[in-house]
Structure 1
Amino acid sequence: METTLQKKGQLEADISKAITKWEKEFLGRGPLQVKTDILRNMVIVHLKGILTPAEKELAKTEAGMISIKKNRADLIEAGNHHLREIILTATGVTVDSFHTDISTRNAERIIVFILKENLEKQLNE
């Protein structure tokens, strides 16, 4: 019998795989590591190793960091319907909003999907 933790853990792993696949297909390069956590009505995705070698070089200046942040934000916004669909398909719950930021110093991105329902509670029922 599958426990709630196994079910939640598998769903988190499935979301990580789907986001990695999207990054590779849509952005042309995937992260080195992805960890997803489901907390209440949030799906939190932490991606590590997301910058290209050229972006790492560009990030050495303040103007370069700002440029990378803007470009990456624009790219994520262009694919936001895909990201929402990934979460809906995996969880069965509609995304109400999502928020993201990138650290050019650490080559990391955080994406927080706010769901219309408390997914963690559903998984515990």
Structure 2
Amino acid sequence: MSKVIHEFNDIIRKLRKDFYGKGPERIHTVFVENMAISTLYGNLTPTELFISKTEEGREMVHSARTKMIQDIYSEKPPEKMEELVGAKLLHLFSDMKVEEDMAISVFIFDKNIT
């Protein structure tokens, strides 16, 4: 199972690196029934870190990051993700704590994942 989790984390890292220019420095994922719950650390680019020094900037980074990632996954799941876990991705719930440069994503699949 740890090999599947490692590959799952690599898929997440690559997608975020491709879209944001920087992937998370560390990802911790657990599979629970039909969910994959991923905690991502070290997500922000140097520009986002600079912008987030003000409250308005933090809100802007939070809004852009959470909306963008949800839009990306709703268009099409990342290549090989569904094949890897043996289930169809139904929903993604994602949020970020900008001040701590930490995000969480909950992937909901159509059946329990392998």
TM-score by length of 2: 0.88
The structure with more radius of gyration = 1
Give 2:57's aligned amino acid: G
Q: How many residues align?
A: 113
SS at match of 2:30: strand
Unaligned runs of 5+ in 1: 1-7
> For residues 27 and 84 of structure 1, what CA distance do their matches in structure 2 show?
15
Task: Decide whether the 8 Å contact of 2:21 with 2:45 is kept in 1.
Answer: no
Structure 1 residue 37: deviation in Å? 1.0
Quote the residue 2:21 is aligned against.
Answer: 28
> For residues 102 and 28 of structure 2, what CA distance do their matches in structure 1 show?
11
Root-mean-square deviation (CA, aligned residues, Å) is 1.6
Structure 1 residue 47: deviation in Å? 1.0
> For residues 87 and 118 of structure 1, what CA distance do their matches in structure 2 show?
14
Of Structure 1 and Structure 2, which has the larger fraction of its residues in helix?
1
> For residues 66 and 56 of structure 1, what CA distance do their matches in structure 2 show?
12
Runs of 4 or more, structure 1, over 6 Å off, are none
Identity of aligned residues (%): 27
| 2:86 is the alignment partner of 1:92 | yes
TM-score by length of 1: 0.81
Question: Which of 36, 39, 42 is the equivalent residue of 1:49?
Answer: 42
Give 2:43's aligned amino acid: I
Structure 1 residue 45: deviation in Å? 1.2
